[in-house]
Amino acid sequence: MKAGIAAAAFAAEAIRRAGVPVPGSIEVSGTVDEESGGFAGVAWLAEHGRLSSTRTDYCIIPEPLNVDRVCVGHRGVYWFEVAAHGHIAHGSMPFLGVSAIDGMGQLLQQIRDELLPVLAERHTAVPVVPPRARQATLNVNGIFGGQPVDGIQTPCVADIRRAVFDRRFLLEEGFDATKAEIVALLDEVARDVPDFSYELRDLMVVHPTKTPDGSPVVGALDRALHRVLGRSGGLVASPGTYDQKHFARIAGVPHCVAYGPGILDLAHQPDEYVDIPDLMNATKVIALAILELTGSA
């Protein structure tokens, strides 16, 4: 994303230096909080009118989705926390307590054995990349419960264990069915495991987003790709969410896409990098698209 912001800034600066008259304004915004939802960044700007359909016609978010592809949307996300409850007892007499760790373990096993195979069979018609992201997915983001591993010994049966889950759902699934499926699984564990109880807490819900068919911003980027690279990798959708959701749903700017340099498959990995030629080409593509969209080309 840092390289994408640089490409956007370089593109705007190149237009300024070339002295090309632009009938309107070009805005490059570097916002915070995208990875945790964007509510303190783009969503805040949209809620306060800084981003709106009266000010903004088109938006290009420079996410790293490979330099030759235009991204027209993303899957949905349901982040939720499950707290499994047990009954505390002395660790030397575990039979007098109920381990919340055991209850959570049963939940994780049933997710692995029952839910994940079902999700793997569901596929979207939206061109999500990479190919395996066209199926519904679920990831366990974190678990905590019982004695801290590096702490002082506490001879107790764990009475609570918490876990955070990241469920990516498809346009065809919808949120209501996605959550109902999780609740049904939790209720199944509660029936099967003696003295197991749970609390479910929604952390974040984002519905899938898609740029309108025939959007001018898509066409402008596609033509710019052919001019700069001699080809276009076509239209894709992102496996994860990004700030397009806030432009579309809060700011009322549907003509929003993601385009930028960077290798998608390396996202959030320690060897993430951007090739300099990709950065340069992305700068040219964004600049040409801006000129077409503003009627300056």
Segment 259-291, tens digit of pLDDT: 999 999 898 889 899 999 999 999 999 999 999
pTM tops 0.85, yes or no = yes
Contact in structure between 250 and 56 (CB atoms under 8 Å): no
Provide the 10 A C-beta neighbour count for residue 40. 13
- The CA-atom distances, in angstroms, between 59 and each of 139, 163, 165, 209 are 30, 36, 31, 14
- Domain 76-206 architecture: 2-Layer Sandwich (3.30)
* pLDDT per position as a tens digit, 88-135: 999 999 999 999 999 999 999 999 999 999 999 999 999 999 999 999
User: CATH 3.40.630.10: does it fit domain 2-74+209-293?
Assistant: yes
**pLDDT tens across 235-245, in order?**
999 999 999 99
Q: Which of 132-136, 138-142, 192-196 has the lowest mean pLDDT?
A: 192-196
pLDDT tens per residue, range 64-74: 999 999 999 99
Query: How far, in Å, CA of 276 to CA of 262, rounded?
Result: 10
Cα dihedral across residues 158, 162, 163, 169: positive or negative? positive
What's the pLDDT score for residue 217?
97
Are 22 and 36 spatial neighbours (Cβ–Cβ below 8 Å)?
A: no
Residues of the chain with CATH 3.40.630.10: 2-74+209-293
pLDDT of residue 35: 86
| Tokens read off for 129 | 């990349």
255 phi, psi to nearest 5 deg = -85, 70
Domain with CATH 3.30.70.360 in the chain: 76-206
pLDDT reading at 195 higher than 90 = no
Closest to 135 in 3D by CA, of 147, 152, 122: 122
